Amino acid sequence: MKKLTINGGRSPVRKNKIGYGKQFIDDEDIKAVVDVLQGDLITCGPKVSELEHKLCNLTGAKYAVVLANGTAALHVACLAGKIKPEDEVITTPMTFAASANCVLYCGSKPIFADINPETYNIDPDDIERKINKNTKAVIAVDFTGQAVELARIMDICRKHNLLLIEDAAHSIGTKYNGKPIGSIADMTTFSFHPVKTVTGGEGGAILTNSKEYYDKLMLYRTHGIAKNSSQMIYPTGELWYYEQVDLGYNYRLTDFQAALISSQLNKLDKFSYRRKEIVQNYDEAFSKVPEIIIQKEIPESDTTRHLYIIRLRLDMLNATRKQIFDALYAENIGCNVHYIPVYWHPYYQKLGYKKGLCSNAEKLYEEIISIPLYYSMTDEDVDGVIEAVNKVTDYYRKE
Ligand SMILES: *Cc1c(COP(=O)(O)O)cnc(C)c1O
């Protein structure tokens, strides 16, 4: 057994640190951005509508609205869905805080439904249990990129007349029963943060098939100001005239970010392919490690994975999750933990959410580590991560 670097061993698996996620920007991306910067319009120009068209083509959705970031997308999706202070919205605790914060932005109440302990996605049975007369919507998150159980969740939403917003920040490129994510839920949101599969530095999008939502989303993206007379209350016909008809925000995306995202989307197939390849290598390697549980995939989801999570059988290891995490870090494998259950955060505790609400999510959180997964990882990088995980689990294995 090799001495771990954290215990004074002299040969870390990697010489230099690798992070858990990283963007890939090539010369074409850079040229796309520079072209916009050298032109006349750097916001709300042609690249924004070009990107919207591209997202419609990619997903099969009728309408796309791009915005400043994925959180803004979730916020205006809630506004367009008329989420009101008296409403409740059901979401998962195993997500980034933004999936629930957007409900708070509307003055309404997020209700947390527990996850399936094998897929880690929101459990449709628990959604049903949490529905009451105040429930207005479900925000389902395709955690790590795997599609949620959309067929069942859509049935539930139809039966109870609920809006379904799919937070697809992780799942661009994923298909559900052969259909691209983005074309299925009432509204689907993407994020283009640098750790996500496709990036614009920052950026977000909403996909929908509803003209009614689309018109609302466009209004809320720009202050609630109507420029087109069909949306005005008192159209005058004057060329300069505009009218604020609702309270909106400045959630616009710049043209150079739109150009970057568009250029990145040209590489989505390549990105997906490589991510799937790495996931396959990891799955194969870790299925041989009895102390590690790998995430279960539902057959309906053809997943472009954003995150790779190893779940530790701590009962079989002489170490805590923190010790394993720190040991991997010392071997120069940058890891992370996705996620702390949303309602554990002090802000949510102050709002009155109690620990113990969702036991599957809480147990999962105690046992997981996200290991590096990104397009430009080399085979040596992947082998290094596998070697480090093996080295650390070998060391701490209970006899
Ligand atoms: C990244 C992320 C968001 C927020 O996206 P931003 O573009 O960073 O605002 C929302 N939900 C989930 C699940 C995310 O991972």
**For position 344, which CATH number holds?**
3.90.1150.10
209 and 319 belong to one structural domain? no
* Domain count along the chain: 2
Going from the Cα of 69 to the center of ligand 1, the distance in angstroms, rounded, reads 8
Q: What tokens appear for 345 in the block?
A: 């955060």
Same domain, 224 and 246: yes
pLDDT score for 2:
86
- Nearest ligand 1 atom to the CA of 98 is 10
Domain-terminating residue out of 265, 297, 329? 265
Same structural domain, 14 and 41? no
In testing the pocket of ligand 1, which one of 96, 101, 260 has its CB within 8 Å of the most ligand atoms? 96
- 173 and 59 fall within a common domain: yes
Q: Give the count of beta carbons closer than 10 Å to the beta carbon of residue 5.
A: 21
Taking the CA of residue 74 as reference, the ligand 1 atom at the shortest distance is: 10
Which CATH number covers residue 140?
3.40.640.10
Q: Please, which pLDDT band fits residue 1 given cuts at 50, 70 and 90?
A: confident
Residue 48: what pLDDT?
Answer: 97
Q: Are 148 and 296 in the same domain?
A: no
List the residue whose alpha carbon is closest to atom 5 of ligand 1.
70
223-276 confidence digits (pLDDT tens): 999 988 889 999 999 999 999 999 999 999 999 999 999 999 999 999 999 999
- Are residue 293 and residue 165 in the same domain, yes or no? no
**Interatomic CA distance for residues 99 and 141, integer angstroms:** 8
Tell me: pLDDT of 212 over 90.
Answer: yes
Given 265, 292, 319, which residue is the final one in a domain?
A: 265
Of 191, 206, 370, the one to substitute when testing ligand 1's pocket (max ligand atoms within 8 A of C-beta) is 191
Instruction: State whether 10 and 107 are in the same domain.
Output: no
Q: Which domain holds residue 345?
A: 5-22+268-396
pLDDT in tens, 3-49: 999 999 999 999 999 999 999 999 999 999 999 999 999 998 999 99
Query: Residues lining ligand 1, judged by CB closer than 6 Å?
Result: 69-71, 95-96, 98-99, 141, 167, 169-170, 191, 193, 204
Q: Which of 265, 286, 309 is the last residue of a domain?
A: 265
Distances (CA, A) of 89 to 107, 132, 246, 268, 396: 11, 10, 23, 32, 42
Considering the domain architecture, whether residues 162 and 304 belong to the same structural domain is answered as no
